[in-house]
Structure formats: C-alpha cells, structure tokens
Structure 1
C-alpha cells in the first residue's frame, strides 16, 4: 500500500465514487469472485484508497439512516423563507457529485443480495428462505422436509402423495403411505418404504436414497437405488448409480448443522451462500482449492469467518448488506 500525499480534490472525489461503485457492484446480486478480487486490489493501492473506501461506508450508513428514518409529520409543510445564498466552491460541486452517486445507488444498497424468485418459485405452494427449514405433511402420512431456499408444488395425477421440486433441496418420506413421488425436471422419483434426499441446482438434479428403495425414471430409462446410492440427471441425460453417499453429511441440515469433510474452499463458500443472507466472495484464487473440514451451525455461520481468520490466516472484509470478502 503506497503512502502518496498531495492528492487533488478531483482525485479524492473520483476515489470515493470508485469506492461507491465497488460497494454497489458487490451488493448488486450479479457480482463475481473476480469483482471481489478487483475490490481488494483497488482498496490496497494506497492509504487514500482505504480512506475513500471508509468514506463510502459512511455514506452508505447515512443513506441507510435516511431510508429508515420516519417522516416528520410537518415535512410536507414548506416554510415561508428566502433561500440562503452561498458561494458554490469547486469542492462543493465535487461533494454534490458524491452525494448524487450515493442517492442514485440507494436502491441497490437497500436491496438484499437474495434475488427475486423466478415466476415458478413465486407461485410455489411452499417456499423457504435463507437458513429456513419447513416440514410439510402430505396425504397418507407421507411428509417432505424442505431445506434452505427451497420451493415445491403439490403434484397430482400420480396415484400417490407427490410433490414437484422447483428449486432447492428436500427429503421426501413415504411414511404410512408406503409410496411417495417427487417430480424434478424431466425425472420422477418414487420411494417405497423409506426416504430420499433430492437436490435441484438449476437444471441438475441429484437423488440419494437414504432408506428403503427408490426408483428414478427419466425419459424411458430407470435407475434403482438402495440406501447410500445416488444418481444425477439433467435435461441431456441420466448418469449411472453411484454407491457410497455419506448420509450423515448429506442430511446434516435436518439437525441445523453443516458438515464439511475435505471440501474445497470454493464449494464451502457456495454452500454457506445457500444458507446465509447476503453474499460471501472468494477473492483469492489460491484459496479456492484448499480443503476444509468442520462442522458449523446453520444459525451461527458467521463463526466460520472468525475461524477462517484464526486457523487459516484468511483476510476477512465485512461490508454492508452481509457481504463478506475472503482473500
């Protein structure tokens, strides 16, 4: 970090605007780890850049205070008074530019990083938000346990209790119904006398048998699963049955915990982002492949950042809106 002095007013104003732009980008819901790395590099250029970053944070807090402050009852009454004339300096105009930028980005600062649901998710019969769980009782004693950020709909016409997994992850149990079905994408999975975990990430679906027997049908092909076996499919095909799934790790979320066993850091961050509001960025590519093992409580995931600082020597930058940058 350089310690150059003698920055001009226009350079300092530009840095503050750049700081706002970086914060705005990280809060936009469209930022990538590369954007986070660019922010870290920008912030570390000089002490002036660091101060510009802190000024951007102060502006953010000011905007947040104004957004949440209740309107005065007399705010719509215009006082009868002449405007005060003042000498408008160059620094005043620069300050006005910064304030205008803050006002222009207030909406993005105020929104969360949890993007609006898709039309299908918005019309779901049941949905969960970040870090939430929900158990839904189905006909005949069957049930479905919804993990974080999950949307399902009730499915009719299969002759048994059935749901459609629109997005997210769920455990379907047949219960007294003996059979229950889950539709996800182009596949239909039926469990007999047991339960299975289903996870849908975009167009890819993973079905893992936890107990009993599961039959997965996809475009005329069928896969039979027993306990600890899984199969994956998407719109282009269905894979082979793979044994040896770790049910304890897979379903730890049902007890409010996350278990990582030699998981690459980029996958750990992706999982934390599923359960946590805001966004975690991995700005150091060297960290992406480092393996991590540990158990964390879903309702205390920020403990991970403290442990990452102490045990792994990771730099943790906490920003407004639950944004965290790891570098």
Structure 2
C-alpha cells in the first residue's frame, strides 16, 4: 500500500511528533535564530527526520495551522494521514478512509485537484496563466492556481463559477444579458464591463476596472464604478472603496506590485506564484511594511530584498520550505 512504512511504530510516532513540534515552532511567529539552526540540524541528522518533516509540511498545507494546535490531536491526525502499518494492522481503516476523504476535499500542496476543483472546466497551475473565451463573446484571463467551471445562468445568459483563484473578466459591448460570475454563494455581473475577481478561500474580492458591475451576496447588493472594489465573506458584503486598479491587475503583465504592505501579506501573495512555501517565522518581521515590484518569473527575489532591507535570515529546508526570520 502506498504511503505505508516498515519503521517501528514507536520510532515512527516519536519522529512524527518531533517533526510536528519543529513545524509548530517555525510557524509560531516567535522562532529565533537558535531555533532555526537546531531545527535544521535535526532535519539533516537522519533521512527519517527529513521524511517526517516533509510529511508534516504536507499536512500543514492541507489542513492549515489549526491542525497543529494541541500536539496530541495533531499527532493522531498526522498518523492517520501517513497511513502507518500499525494503523492498518490495528483496524484503523476508518480513520484512514476519513483522512483520505479529507485530502480529496483539500489536497496537500495542490498535488492534485480538490473535490470541488474536479468539477472545474479550466484550471491553471502554480505560476501559470491562461485566457479562455466564454460564449464566443466574453474574455476571461485566469491567474495562477485558478479553477473555473462554466455555468448557464439563464436560458439566454452565460456565466462561470470561480471556484478558487483569480480572474479578469471582460464582457462584450452592446445590448444583451449580463455576464454572471458566481463565487462562494455571491454573484458579480456586468455588461460592457471589465472586472477582476479573486477567491482566496476566505473571502471574495471584486474590483471594477471599466464600466459598471453589480455584486450581490445574500440579500445585499452593491454597484461598483471603475476603480472601486468590494469584498464579501461569511460576515456579509462590505462597502465599496476606491483602489488603484492598475495595481490589482498588474499580474496580467507578469508584475506584482506592493505598496506599504505588511511582509506577511506580501509572502502570502508570493507563495501563489512559486513551488513550496515561504514562512515568516517572526511575527515582528511579518508586521514590517514592504514596498517593491517583482516580475512573476523572479518572485524569489523577494528573499534577497527582505535580507537587505530588514537584515532577515533565510533558511532553506526540505520540501521547498523557506523560513524568513
């Protein structure tokens, strides 16, 4: 069976717990230089340590930091996902099935489509962009890590569902039904309009670039003019605010622009365009304001900039993990 191991259960459990402990320390926001040096030495000491750390990293990607809160529950969840021989022999099939089902819903590191993304008609991978034409009239530019499904909104009206990611939509000129983009139970529509829409899994952000668009979420409705932006999430529909639409859509020109953004937000955005994961392990560093422009093809240049500007330390670990402290 794939993913099984012949390591003694007691050794496997101990190493997995230690890998969890190190990743929790790295992602706590309070790790110091000594922690990073000691953690890297632990990882490099034994191939089993390296493997366990990479598995812990995949779980962190799949389940989020909350899976690591409370060492014992986290270790149990991880043991199920790693599918140890003891779990199989001990009748742990139900736990394994539950873990496997969860990983279909939320796969680690984007290695395969999630359950919802399997319904997508179009997908882009990390660092990839793609342009599609819907109903022969509407242009949709898909950014990195984006999944879209075609939807027939009404008998005469076409539309799409933005399952995840980001897209720039340009609707045709002339009279006709509005083009509708559905995302996370909200709807954005426009005629003779261009708008950017992004779904990061927590909130949906809509920016009107040209013309007028209408955004609805639940019973709330808002109209946006050019250079206005609005966000909705589980708490409801926000209020429109003026933004620089050129910065929002700079990704179309393979450019990322940051103006006085907290470094933790910059790194979150950078991670959408590169393999692996950059983690800011110091909360004070994450709060520092950062301004810079980067070409998408050279996003790792942010590491050099952060080193120079803030005197940060860059530590590379297995699994594409990079720690900033």
TM-score (norm 1): 0.70
Distance 1:123 1:267, change over 3 A: same
Aligned pair partner of 2:128 in 132, 138, 141: 132
Moved more, 136-145 or 176-185: 176-185
Counterpart position of 1:99? none
8 Å Cα contact 1:252/1:259 also seen in 2: yes
Residue 38 of structure 1, CA deviation: 5.0
Q: Which structure 2 residues correspond to residues 208-227 of structure 1 after superposition, within 5 A?
A: 208-227=207-226
Counterpart position of 1:98? none
Aligned pair partner of 2:35 in 18, 34, 42: 42
What secondary structure sits across from 1:310 in the alignment?
helix
Greater C-alpha radius of gyration? 1
Residue 146 of structure 1, CA deviation: 0.9
Counterpart position of 1:82? none
8 Å Cα contact 1:172/1:180 also seen in 2: no
Task: Write the distance in 2 (CA, Å) between the matches of 1:119 and 1:291.
Answer: 37
Counterpart position of 1:90? none
Counterpart position of 2:270? 272
Distance 1:116 1:309, change over 3 A: same
Counterpart position of 1:246? 244
Residue 114 of structure 1, CA deviation: 3.2
Distance 1:125 1:271, change over 3 A: same
Counterpart position of 1:83? none
8 Å Cα contact 1:19/1:53 also seen in 2: no
Distance 1:236 1:303, change over 3 A: closer
Q: Which structure 2 residues correspond to residues 306-325 of structure 1 after superposition, within 5 A?
A: 306-325=304-323
1:144 maps onto 2:140 in alignment: yes
Residue 22 of structure 1, CA deviation: 3.6
Distance 1:185 1:60, change over 3 A: closer
Residue 60 of structure 1, CA deviation: 4.8
User: Root-mean-square deviation (CA), in Å?
Assistant: 3.4
Q: Which structure 2 residues correspond to residues 229-244 of structure 1 after superposition, within 5 A?
A: 229-242=228-241, 244=242
Describe the superposition over 1:267-308 as per-residue Cα deviations: whole angstroms up to 9, x where unpaired: 011111122111111111110110010011111111111222
Task: Write the distance in 2 (CA, Å) between the matches of 1:39 and 1:112.
Answer: 27
Distance 1:318 1:249, change over 3 A: same
What secondary structure sits across from 2:167 in the alignment?
strand
1:171 maps onto 2:168 in alignment: yes
Which consecutive unaligned segments of at least 5 residues does structure 2 have?
Answer: 1-10, 55-83, 85-106
Residue 32 of structure 1, CA deviation: 8.0
Which consecutive unaligned segments of at least 5 residues does structure 1 have?
Answer: 1-13, 65-103, 105-110
Residue 112 of structure 1, CA deviation: 6.7
Distance 1:116 1:315, change over 3 A: same
Task: Write the distance in 1 (CA, Å) between the matches of 2:22 and 2:140.
Answer: 37
Distance 1:293 1:34, change over 3 A: same
Task: Write the distance in 1 (CA, Å) between the matches of 2:170 and 2:40.
Answer: 53
TM-score (norm 2): 0.70
Residue 200 of structure 1, CA deviation: 1.1
Task: Write the distance in 2 (CA, Å) between the matches of 1:138 and 1:32.
Answer: 47
Distance 1:234 1:43, change over 3 A: closer
Task: Write the distance in 2 (CA, Å) between the matches of 1:310 and 1:57.
Answer: 33
Task: Write the distance in 2 (CA, Å) between the matches of 1:114 and 1:252.
Answer: 24
Counterpart position of 2:64? none
Aligned residues: 261
